[in-house]
Amino acid sequence: MSSWSERRVVVTGIGCASSLGSDATTLWNNIVAGQCGIDRISAFDVSAYDCQIAAEVRGFDPVPAFPSPKEIRRTDRFTHFGVFAGWGALKDSGLDLEKTNRDEVGVFIGSGIGGLYTTEEQHKILLEKGPGRISPFMIPMLILNMASGLFSLYYKLRGPNFATCSACATATHALGEAWATIKRGDASVMFAGGTEATIVPLGIGGFGAMRAMSTRNDEPKKSSRPFDRDRDGFVMGEGAAVLVLEELEHAKRRGARIYCEVVGYGNTADASHMTAPDPEGEGAGRAMKMALRHAQLRPDQVDYINCHATSTPVGDVCETKMIKNVFGDHSRVLAASSTKGATGHMLGAAGAIEMAICCKAVEAQVAPPTLNLDNPDPTCDLNFVPHTAQERKIDVFANNSFGFGGHNAILIGRRFTG
């Protein structure tokens, strides 16, 4: 078996469920066209809530990805999204499971919160009808590992399997750990990503109580404003994305299409604050340097960064400082954008949907735009690709994700050239 340094990992499939499309091509086309998936919440009455907007996945149909309607009834919406995205990634990859050793195929699909809909619904039943009426499926419906577990069950994938949970860094950690799993020879193929479904009263109410979300309810399409002077908080999104990561020689033998090569992964902690990032972005900077070291790349070789920037007053500034500190003068040359103005902040799924966008950016040689960047914050003064996508060389990209608890996760990918 080849050594860690010799084993290369590529992306060969993308699946997703999002407010801007439930396949990678539709998602990408809407992103580069400047479309926004944020609108007033339709799932429940929001008249009593400070934040009344979100990026919902409307008209979603999980049926094609599940073995039976009964399985859908026994699972939470976050699992529906995760299994659907995995199914889409499998289709997109062209992987024939009948010709694949399923002992070497693993699944890491994480979630930041898990089955919040089920938690809320079953707690209501407990209070109104008593413990005897709680569903026997409540626990397997709400635990956040179930998307990963059930996807492996439905498709008989017997390789490494677990679910990451690190708030908004969840999906990037899942992808990074999948990369490391293949690198060390414990799997040939990994389905990895994240899923989230928190647009429920408890979710909107909880984040609203933190004063973390935008209250620009009268202008939903303009509410998420990364790096803008007038930003007032993030806008919640829901959905999932799963990518197929594959050992290069395995992918070549079956003639797979390759989106890009994953070459670096950084994973650090701020150890600074429960919910706020390190003021100078120091922990995130160490994660970026770790990812660059794994990739054996210099900072000046990075062409594009998909920023975590969620449109919060503090977070966007900290990330800008980190980019300046790590990349120096090159920070003025590279392109960096946040696509959360389009998709909303998908929490535990954010890193995966943004990795999917990065893969398409390399394919198209286009940097996707940051929406609503009308009045840039003077401290956020880099090329954040305002309003309109930019055609430019993208050979190397970085994908940033940071989560409550001080979690930092960064992936580096590059255009595959053989």
**CA gap 289, 291 in Å, rounded:** 5
Query: At 248, phi and psi to the nearest 5?
Result: -55, -50
- Among 386, 169, 202, smallest CA distance to 270 is for 169
Active site annotation includes 345: yes
Biggest distance spanned by C-alpha atoms of the chain: 64
Which of 36, 308, 318, 407 is labelled catalytic? Answer: 308
**CA gap 259, 363 in Å, rounded:** 7
Query: Could you tell me how far CA 404 lies from the centroid of its own chain?
Result: 15
> Hey, what are 382's tokens?
């880099």
Active site annotation includes 308: yes
Active site annotation includes 168: yes
CB 89 within 8 A of CB 243: yes
Which of 80, 173, 294, 345 is labelled catalytic? Answer: 345
| Interhelix angle 282-295/315-327, nearest 10 degrees | 40
CB 365 within 8 A of CB 385: no
Which residues are CB-contacts of 153 (< 8 A; sequence separation ≥ 6)? none
Exposure b/e, 270-307, CB count within 10 A at least 16 = b: beeeeeebbeebbbbbbbbbbbbebbebebeebbbbbb
So which residues are the catalytic ones?
168, 308, 345
